[in-house]
Amino acid sequence: MNAELLSLSNAPWLYIGAMLVKILVVFGVTMGIVAYATWAERKVIGHMQTRLGPMLTGWHGLLQPIADGIKLFFKEDIIPSQASRVPFILAPMMILIPSLITIAVVPFGTDLVVNVGGKAYAIPLQITDLNIGILYILAMAGLGVYGITLAGWSSNSKYSLLGGVRASAQMISYELAAGLAIIAVFMLSETLSMREIVLQQSGSILDWYVWKQPLAFVLFLVTGTAEINRTPFDMPEAESELVSGFCTEYSSMKYALFFMAEYANMIVVAAIMATLFLGGWAGPTPWGPVNLLGKIFAFMFFLMWIRATFPRVRYDQLMKLGWKVLLPLALANILVTGIVVVLQQ
């Protein structure tokens, strides 16, 4: 029996119900990972430094994220007297919201076939399949820069301003290199839809784009790390010189929103990397969501590992790497891919 793709026109109520369930599950899982990523990061780095990390709240500190959340709720919400109030309040939301909604186009499994009233409907396990999926992701990732710049400027504090300006220059520089690095993948895939890109890689592990585009994968790994301001590229925070960078003046839940956005961005970059280069939900195990989550966790562990290993780079080294190494390499990769594809035809 052939299953019909569920849409708003053929079964509106089923479509809306499935949509709400998918959105709530994805949102809940994302927030759950965000909360426990803070715990995992402290644990992983703790053990790498031969410490134990959080141990007191619950078994091996498992209740730590909940305790932190409750604590931050009860903290005083300070708005500095010289700050520009409206942008100061809006900035943390402008960072968190884009990173939470980017996840919408990431596919996390094969179609789920359900029987309703004698007809079979296929529900795609993806909140929505945009035919311009990647452009949507890049657009939303670009919005995050506004939040950081506004946070730095509106605090009216020297550390915040320096952190905000540095962060925006870093993010736009690496966004460029990241955007150029993944173009080579679309030259092979001929589509920007995340769903199609995963289906093209679903044959076997050898179909993954990481084998055809190893340089693009490495470039995206580096630019992705810089894009989400993780060590060794965490210049915007740089606590040894800028206190806490753009979020110096923030407290209470507003500060927590910055933190959540950082971890949500880690999930998003991991999901994009898994989808474009590592087969997304397809392979190696038969369970789609398990594959995707496994790849996301592996990447997040990798980022924590890097944080425990490398010192922070200097700002001039950071800009030099972005503009003088990664950008030309990404362009060269596009040209080489082009030559190879033309020669094959």
Partner 1 sequence: MLDSYLPILVLIVIAVAFAVGSVIMSRLIGQKKPGEVKLAPYECGMPPVGSARERLSIKFYIIAMLFIVFDIEAVFLYPWAVMFKRLGLFGFVEMGVFIIILLIGYVYVWKKGALEWE
Pairing label, strands 4-5, 119-125:
parallel
Length of the chain: 345
The token duo for 109 is: 């499994």
Asked if 180 contacts 174 with a C-beta cutoff of 8 angstroms, the reply is: no
Instruction: Among 34, 40, 100, 238, indicate the residue that binds partner 1 (CB under 8 A).
Output: 100
Indicate the residue among 136 and 220 with the shorter CB distance to partner 1. 136
Site for partner 1 in 263-322 (CB under 8 A): 315-316, 319-320
Q: Shortest distance, CB of residue 128 to partner 1, whole angstroms?
A: 4
Beta bridge partners of 71: none
Choose the binding region for partner 1 from 37-45, 229-237, 242-250, 283-291 (rule: CB under 8 A). 242-250
Residue 331 in contact with partner 1, rule: CB under 8 A: yes
Residue 324 in contact with partner 1, rule: CB under 8 A: yes
Instruction: Among 1, 2, 74, 206, indicate the residue that binds partner 1 (CB under 8 A).
Output: 74
Site for partner 1 in 193-222 (CB under 8 A): none
How many residues of this chain bind partner 1 (CB under 8 A)? 85
Q: Smallest Cα–Cα separation from 58: which of 74, 39, 75, 71? A: 39
Q: Which helix (H) or strand (E) holds 177?
A: helix 158-189
Choose the binding region for partner 1 from 34-42, 252-260, 270-278, 290-298 (rule: CB under 8 A). 252-260
The type of residue at 337 is: T
Asked if 161 contacts 243 with a C-beta cutoff of 8 angstroms, the reply is: no
Asked if 39 contacts 300 with a C-beta cutoff of 8 angstroms, the reply is: no
Asked if 292 contacts 29 with a C-beta cutoff of 8 angstroms, the reply is: no
Indicate the residue among 306 and 334 with the shorter CB distance to partner 1. 334
Site for partner 1 in 116-175 (CB under 8 A): 127-131, 134-136, 155-161, 165, 168-169, 172-173, 175
Q: Which helix (H) or strand (E) holds 5?
A: strand 4-5
Residue 328 in contact with partner 1, rule: CB under 8 A: yes
Residue 335 in contact with partner 1, rule: CB under 8 A: yes
HSE-CB of 238 using CA atoms within 13 angstroms: 21
Instruction: Among 67, 122, 187, 306, indicate the residue that binds partner 1 (CB under 8 A).
Output: 187
Residue 329 in contact with partner 1, rule: CB under 8 A: no
Helix-helix angle 327-344:214-227, to 10 degrees: 150
The type of residue at 245 is: G
Q: Shortest distance, CB of residue 296 to partner 1, whole angstroms?
A: 18
Instruction: Among 104, 219, 292, 304, indicate the residue that binds partner 1 (CB under 8 A).
Output: 104
Residue 20 in contact with partner 1, rule: CB under 8 A: yes
